[in-house]
Amino acid sequence: MAKLEEEQGGMNGHQLNPLNVSRSRSVCETVNGSHRYTVKGFSLAKGMGPGRYLSSDTFTVGGYQWAVYFYPDGKNPEDNSLYVSVFIALASEGTDVRALFELTLVDQSGKGRHKVHSHFDRALEAGPYTLKYRGSMWGYKRFYRRTSLETSDYLKDDCLIMNCTVGVVRNHIETPTQLSIFVPPPDLGQCLKELFTSGIGSDIDFEVGDETFKAHKQILAARSPVFSAQFFGLIGNPNVDKIVVEDVEPPIFKAMLLFIYSDELPDVHDLTGSVSMCTSTIMVQHLLAAADRYGLERLKLLCEAKLCEEVTADTVATTLALAEQHQCAQLKAVCLKFTAARENLGAVMQTEGFNYLEATCPSLLSDLLATVAVVDDDSSPISRKRSGSSNIGLNLMDSVDLNGRRMKRRM
């Protein structure tokens, strides 16, 4: 019986369903604004008498109007005009306006030794100042001794400059958004890619080798200036429905079309069915050439970046030749630097790609020789410059004469 009562008590006292907890928070912050006030002809303002002031134009901060009051002979008669007084006043209707203030007398000598009276620095100690009604003010009766002011760097050409900052305190309540709607990322590229894959609504066939690819002329024209001119240019044919493409392999052309529709670099491994780095590099090389041929600058840059990541001794020579032929300056620089490295140059010169480079772009050998010299200067002491790298440099020089013509290379 006792056990039963204990279980019932536990259910009544502890095993309660969790409550839904709502949340909110009060946020106190300041809305800040500044006003630069200049008093020109300070000497003429003296003698106005205590309690008399010059006023700035009104300025707005935090939804209220403010003004700066400057008392050349001080605010209080008992100070006998020994001090100048400066105040910031509430110039519009308002009750219990809470604010922070700062008055800065500007050093006009250029030394940056400004005289700063800041309420912001003391906010944590005393809190904001409360202005009860229009005309309430904050400031200093003894802002600066007048005789000291007249001989200071704050007065120049009978002119004073003051920066006045007001921070109006605002309170508001923040509550978490109760309803959260998930907005999926854009999928236009995926939708167009599916349109290409399905061939729905296609109006042009490309015969590439033994394969045929269906596409949409308007999409191609929107993405490629070459296709735009071919279909809708002055000598274009908008009614053409079949084009035979030469000098491009089917996988390369398909990859280019996939990019045109999806705006993404296709996965080369999916297209070739190979995980070989060399195969991937060759595919991207051909894709870069196709991108340049059809004016697809973004695809060309994507291929250039991809090739920069996949530089190896086996592929760098052909990639360098490609970079030269298609004006890829960054790719060319990466390839030259990689090839010129002491640990890479010998292996690169033994590849078939280097022979291709000599045959197609002999001028690049001069660029390579210059890069070798720079790399040696950056990384080797003088004694090492006269060792192995110099021999390699001589071998490069044997490959090209002064006019850039190819000559027999000695190894």
> For 284, left (φ over 0), alpha (ψ -120 to 50), or beta?
alpha
Q: Are residues 201 and 321 in the same domain?
A: no
Q: Are residues 352 and 251 in the same domain?
A: no
Q: Are residues 358 and 370 in the same domain?
A: yes
Q: Which of 105, 107, 106, 67 is nearest to 87 (CA)?
A: 67
Model confidence at 24, pLDDT cuts 50, 70, 90, reads confident
Whole-model pTM above 0.85?
no
Integer angstrom CA distances of residue 143 from 74, 113, 118, 120? 9, 16, 12, 17
Q: Are residues 207 and 129 in the same domain?
A: no
Q: Are residues 268 and 386 in the same domain?
A: no
> Angle at Cα 386 formed by Cα 385 and Cα 388, nearest 5°?
85
Model confidence at 296, pLDDT cuts 50, 70, 90, reads very high
* Residue 371: inside a domain: yes
Per the structure, the complete domain to which residue 393 belongs is given by: 312-411
Least confident of 165-169, 340-344, 383-387, 392-396: 383-387
Mean of all residue pLDDT scores within the chain = 84
Given a cut of 70, is residue 267 above it in pLDDT?
yes
Span 214-255, pLDDT tens digits: 999 999 999 999 999 999 999 889 999 999 999 999 999 999
Span 105-153, pLDDT tens digits: 999 998 889 998 888 877 667 788 899 999 999 999 999 999 999 999 9
In this prediction, residue 334 carries a pLDDT of: 93
Q: Are residues 106 and 232 in the same domain?
A: no
* Residue 2: inside a domain: no
Pick the residue with more confidence: 367 or 13? 367
In this prediction, residue 385 carries a pLDDT of: 39
* Residue 177: inside a domain: no
Q: Are residues 351 and 367 in the same domain?
A: yes
Q: Are residues 103 and 197 in the same domain?
A: no
Q: Which of 172, 193, 219 is the last residue of a domain?
A: 172
Span 331-370, pLDDT tens digits: 999 998 998 888 888 898 888 888 888 888 888 887 888 8
* Residue 12: inside a domain: no
Least confident of 19-23, 49-53, 170-174, 186-190: 19-23
In this prediction, residue 371 carries a pLDDT of: 79
Backbone torsions φ then ψ of 392, nearest 5 degrees: -65, -40
Q: Are residues 116 and 216 in the same domain?
A: no
Q: Which of 118, 141, 172 is the last residue of a domain?
A: 172
Model confidence at 274, pLDDT cuts 50, 70, 90, reads low
* Residue 6: inside a domain: no
Q: Which of 156, 165, 64, 74 is nearest to 116 (CA)?
A: 165
Distance CA 102, CA 163 (A): 8
Q: Which of 90, 88, 91 is nearest to 120 (CA)?
A: 88
* CB 146, CB 84: distance < 8 Å: yes
Given a cut of 80, is residue 306 above it in pLDDT?
yes
Q: Which of 70, 33, 35, 58 is nearest to 160 (CA)?
A: 70
Compute the average pLDDT of residues 11-20.
Answer: 57
Q: Are residues 201 and 337 in the same domain?
A: no
Integer angstrom CA distances of residue 364 from 252, 314, 329, 359, 372? 27, 17, 13, 10, 12
Q: Are residues 145 and 201 in the same domain?
A: no
Q: Which of 310, 334, 359 is the last residue of a domain?
A: 310
In this prediction, residue 18 carries a pLDDT of: 59
Neighbours of 286 (CB within 10 A): 19
* Residue 13: inside a domain: no
Span 87-106, pLDDT tens digits: 999 999 988 899 999 999 99
Q: Give me the number of domains the chain comprises.
A: 3
Compute the average pLDDT of residues 315-339.
Answer: 91
* Residue 129: inside a domain: yes
Model confidence at 376, pLDDT cuts 50, 70, 90, reads low
Q: Are residues 33 and 136 in the same domain?
A: yes
Given a cut of 90, is residue 403 above it in pLDDT?
no
Residue 231: give its domain's CATH number.
3.30.710.10
Residue 63: give its domain's CATH number.
2.60.210.10
